[in-house]
């Protein structure tokens, strides 16, 4: 089992009340999750193993749920050509 952690790339609030929102959810063995658009591209995300000494299998699929044009638009929206 594992915990999925998402940390927002932006802060909310002001002064001492300013926070960086974070979300977490738990997965049991055999479960899966999907991150897309801003959840994938604008947050820090990590898989935290509940059993640190155990083994883990992971499968990452990227840009496979839309057309090549949609993938290119999403990539260039976050990483414009002039920054590469």
Closest C-alpha among 45, 39, 43 to residue 58: 45
Tokens 């801003």, residue located: 38
Rounded Cα distance, 41 and 12, in Å: 18
Q: What does the mean pLDDT of the chain come to?
A: 78
Is residue 52 predicted with pLDDT exceeding 60?
A: yes
Which letter does DSSP use for residue 60 in this model?
Answer: -
Handedness of CA 1, 50, 43, 68 (dihedral sign): negative
**pLDDT-derived band at 65, boundaries 50, 70, 90:** low
pTM higher than 0.75: no
**pLDDT-derived band at 63, boundaries 50, 70, 90:** low
Give the mean pLDDT of 28-39.
81
């Amino acid at each position: 089992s594992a915990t999925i952690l998402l940390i927002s790339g932006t802060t909310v609030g002001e002064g001492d009340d300013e926070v960086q929102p974070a979300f977490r959810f738990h997965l049991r063995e055999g479960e899966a999750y999907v991150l897309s658009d801003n959840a994938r591209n604008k947050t820090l995300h990590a898989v935290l193993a509940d059993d640190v000494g155990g083994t883990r299998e992971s499968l990452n699929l990227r840009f496979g749920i839309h057309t090549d044009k949609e993938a290119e638009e999403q990539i260039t929206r976050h990483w414009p050509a002039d920054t590469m």
